[in-house]
Amino acid sequence: MHRLPDWKPRLTAYVVKAASTPFQYGVHDCALFAAGAVVAQCGLDHADHFRGQYRNLRAGLRLLKRSGYADHVALASAILPDRHPALMRPGDLAVIEDDGRLILGVVQGECIYAVTPAGIGRLSIDRASRILGVG
């Protein structure tokens, strides 16, 4: 998977638009936010058939398991390679562990943008337990 030549402004526009989108499982949650960042950068949507198909976390996880993935991180890991944190770049996906939950976010400099029920937040890059390389 390769990044489009204009991936930087596309990613910026995507994050700006996502910041004003309310959290909703199956529409705008951490997994679909991360998938949308990949679409903005590469033009490929690996989550298209999951969008609008679940309304809560439990239903989303069931849908992923029926598709052969343990969770949203397993799906992202099947598509994107692990990248050593020293080699991370803006736009890569970060996996964050938070109170037993796994959150996917988007690396942007020294922070990670992540979607939670409270909206888009910025987390310190040192919260990432894994980095998945985009492009």
Query: Would you say residue 105 lies in a domain?
Result: yes
Q: For residue 89, what are the β-bridge partners? A: none
6-63 pLDDT tens trace:
999 999 999 999 999 999 999 999 999 999 999 999 999 999 999 999 999 999 999 9
Q: Which two tokens stand for residue 78?
A: 């099947």
pLDDT computed for residue 1 by the predictor? 85
| CATH number of the domain encompassing residue 81 | 3.90.1720.10
Domain range for 67 is 7-132
Q: 117-132 b/e with 16+ CB inside 10 Å = b?
A: eeebeebebebbebbb
**C-alpha–C-alpha distance, residues 33 and 115, integer Å:** 7
Q: Indicate the pTM of the whole model.
A: 0.95
Section 101-113 average pLDDT: 95
Query: Would you say residue 100 lies in a domain?
Result: yes
Query: Would you say residue 2 lies in a domain?
Result: no
76-106 pLDDT tens trace:
999 999 999 889 999 999 999 998 999 999 9
Query: Would you say residue 1 lies in a domain?
Result: no
pLDDT computed for residue 85 by the predictor? 87
Query: Would you say residue 34 lies in a domain?
Result: yes
**C-alpha–C-alpha distance, residues 66 and 64, integer Å:** 5
Please tell me the total count of domains within the chain: 1
For the chain, what percentages of helix, strand and coil (3-state, to nearest 5) are there?
A: 40, 25, 35
For 108, phi and psi rounded to 5 degrees? Answer: -145, 95
